[in-house]
Amino acid sequence: MTAASAPAPPAGPSPDGAGTFRDRLRGAFATALTGAAADGALPVAAADIPALVDQVRETADAKFGDYSATLAMGLAKKAGRKPRDVAIEVATRLPTAPGFEATFTPPGDPVGPGFINVRVRDDALAAAISAAFRDPRLGVPKVAAPATIVIDFSSPNVAKPMHVGHIRSTVIGDAVARILSFRGHRIITDNHLGDWGTQFGMIIWGWKHCRDDAAFAADPTAELGRLYRLVRRVADAKPEDLAADPQAAALAARHPAAGREVLEETAKLHAGDAENRALWERFMPACLADIERLYGRLGVSFDHWLGESFFQPFLADVVADLERRGLARESRGATGIFLDGDDKPPFLVRKADGAFLYATTDLATIRWRLEHWKPDRILYVVDHRQGQHFDQLFKTAGLWGVPGLDRVALVHVAFGTVLGDDGKPFKTRSGDTVGLESLLDEGVERAGAVIAADEGLAEEERRRVAETVGIGAIKYADLCQNRTTDYVFSYDKMLELKGNTAAYMQYAVARVEGVLEKGGIDREALRSAPPAIVPVDPRERALALAILRFGEVLEDVEADYRPNLLTTWLYDLAGRYSAFYDALPILKAAEPERGSRLALADLTGRVLRKGLDLLGIGTVRRM
């Protein structure tokens, strides 16, 4: 079992015309290295070859060619030879690999300490663009070995309205699901709702002691959210909170044991108490309707909604099984697994009052998923602050001995916190957490103001465009950042029309639409009779090469579950298109350039749209 990181995705390098350029080149390097090893020219074990060909990458600078290999430098030490000699040894064998010469120009002398630089042949580039142009997958190959991957994301606490804290898990998880699915994996998305924990004890206690029936009738989730916040203060009974909240202070004075009573309400719910169970069943539909409306607006959906309550029947057995195997034991009245010695905090699976914890649920969930879905990987798209929990969870699972655990990769896809411009967690001016709904509303409203300058849009269309641009901006701002770092939330930055933003990309798509519309081009006809591709200008070549990196980028995204690699590439692609479009006439050009450029423009538009779609971001024809 791999707890910390994902297994390398199947590279599937093939030397013979299929796959991305990088795949083909890696295949050729594998052939060359295998040959060198067989001749005894280089000390290369077959098992080392995948890691070595991994060092074949896009060049940092176009002047070095299109792809570059750095493997000679590392190999030189093992071989006891000069890096340049090793590079020459490998490079001279490349042209003998099947299909190499049809796709690449033979590498020249190694550069610097031993870089092997390779350039794609222009005719191979043109052929690949033609193929991508006709391909519904836009030239992106499917993985050779599809995996079954469970993605656990969003997972809101249903007792309170969704807020800004849910956005990253939802947006990143959805994008990862879309990308891996397009890559050809079997994806199972599961919304592991928090629908059974102490938060329900709080709202049940609140319901019994301080509910507002009229408010509940008018807006159930708002009233439940109010109860949750209020009872939380009462139960925690922190002096500074109570000082700021007279109502909570009064309640706390009347109910000094509120904290214990909340836990008792939770325990009663878990024990099957009829009254609490009925309340839970009454609250749930309203909670679910609320969050489903938000998912609809975000364009996010799930295959399953197996929340904590679903796994409740299995929890006692999980603990019993852990005890039977000698993993879990009693301590201070609770039950836990001591993973790091007796003096370190254990991984608790049962509290002293007998109630179970989310650790218990997570273990039961793993077992259930293994039994029913037989996944190769389970991804948890969850806040980095829960890193320690997942360390302990994965460690415990590794010791557990449930069938299938030895061959599943459990991965915590962690992400940073959303901050306000003061560098602290994003809050409203009054210090409350920001509701997701109002966050989206403000984004859409501001987007509306930005696009208001366009005179040609009818009111109805303008609203639709504002929704697409506003929500796209919020999602993109999140996805374009390295997911492991915290990021500062700023409407002004995310709605910039230049730079690495959704609006810039959406605008690039709309410009492509504009050109084709202006030229009266029938895109279906264009695609059924594709024009010859003649990339004569360096800017055309750069654009074509970028388009064909789509599949490589998606592979890189999967390797570390990093959607920001996709946004970076999309921004680069849109920039190359702008440079191309600015410098070279399309409609006014003579054949064969006209047809070639029309095809490049159309293909760029489709690739940009597909790339944004894989991020869960929509596009518009006009904006």
Partner RNA sequence: GCGUCCGUAGCUCAAUUGGAUAGAGCAUCGGUCUUCGGAACCGAGGGUUGCAGGUUCGAGUCCUGCCGGGCGUACCA
Of residues 192-211, those binding RNA (CB under 7 A): 194, 197-199
| 70-to-53, 58, 59, 266, 352 alpha-carbon distances in Å | 9, 11, 10, 59, 57
> Where in 327-366 is the site for RNA (CB under 7 A)?
331-334, 336, 345-346, 348, 351-353, 355, 357-358, 361
Binding RNA (rule: CB under 7 A), the pick from 165, 560, 610, 613 is 560
Binding RNA (rule: CB under 7 A), the pick from 518, 536, 538, 592 is 518
Stretch that binds RNA, among 8-16, 26-34, 405-413, 498-506 (CB under 7 A): 498-506
Cis-peptide, bond into residue 592, ω within 30° of zero: yes
Which is nearer to RNA, 116 or 147 (by Cβ)?
116
Contact flag: residue 487 with RNA (CB under 7 A): yes
Q: How far apart are CA 368 and CA 376, in angstroms?
A: 14
**DSSP of 346-380:** PEEEE-TTS-B-HHHHHHHHHHHHHHHH--SEEEE
Binding RNA (rule: CB under 7 A), the pick from 10, 43, 106, 112 is 112
Q: How far apart are CA 504 and CA 603, in angstroms?
A: 18
CB of 246 to RNA, least distance (A): 25
CA 506 to chain centre: 20
Binding RNA (rule: CB under 7 A), the pick from 417, 526, 537, 610 is 417
Contact flag: residue 324 with RNA (CB under 7 A): no
Which is nearer to RNA, 181 or 331 (by Cβ)?
331
Q: Which residues contact 80 (CB under 8 A, 6 or more apart)?
A: none
Q: If you count DSSP H runs as helices and E runs as strands, how many of each does the chain have, helices first?
A: 27, 13
Contact flag: residue 497 with RNA (CB under 7 A): yes
Longest alpha-carbon distance in the chain? 86
Contact flag: residue 170 with RNA (CB under 7 A): no
Binding RNA (rule: CB under 7 A), the pick from 275, 485, 532, 592 is 485
Binding RNA (rule: CB under 7 A), the pick from 15, 19, 35, 83 is 83
Please name which of 103, 28, 31 lies closest in space to residue 66, comparing C-alpha atoms.
103
CB of 440 to RNA, least distance (A): 20
Binding RNA (rule: CB under 7 A), the pick from 91, 413, 503, 554 is 503
CB of 620 to RNA, least distance (A): 8
**DSSP of 382-431:** EEGGGHHHHHHHHHHHHHH--TTGGG-EEEEEEE--EE-TTSSB-B-TTS
Please name which of 10, 11, 9, 23 lies closest in space to residue 99, comparing C-alpha atoms.
23
Which is nearer to RNA, 106 or 345 (by Cβ)?
345
Q: Which amino acid is at 390?
A: F
Binding RNA (rule: CB under 7 A), the pick from 463, 583, 591, 592 is 583
> Where in 115-134 is the site for RNA (CB under 7 A)?
115, 117
Contact flag: residue 556 with RNA (CB under 7 A): yes
Binding RNA (rule: CB under 7 A), the pick from 187, 581, 599, 615 is 581
CB of 124 to RNA, least distance (A): 20
**Residues in contact with RNA, total (CB under 7 A)?**
103
Q: How far apart are CA 306 and CA 365, in angstroms?
A: 9
CB of 214 to RNA, least distance (A): 29
Contact flag: residue 234 with RNA (CB under 7 A): no
CA 393 to chain centre: 22
CB of 289 to RNA, least distance (A): 21
> Where in 9-68 is the site for RNA (CB under 7 A)?
54-55, 57-61, 63-64, 68
Contact mark string toward RNA, 359..398, x via CB under 7 A: --x----------------------xxxxxx---------
Contact flag: residue 79 with RNA (CB under 7 A): no
Q: How far apart are CA 572 and CA 568, in angstroms?
A: 6
At residue 2, the 3 state secondary structure works out as: strand
CB count, 10 Å around CB of 340? 12
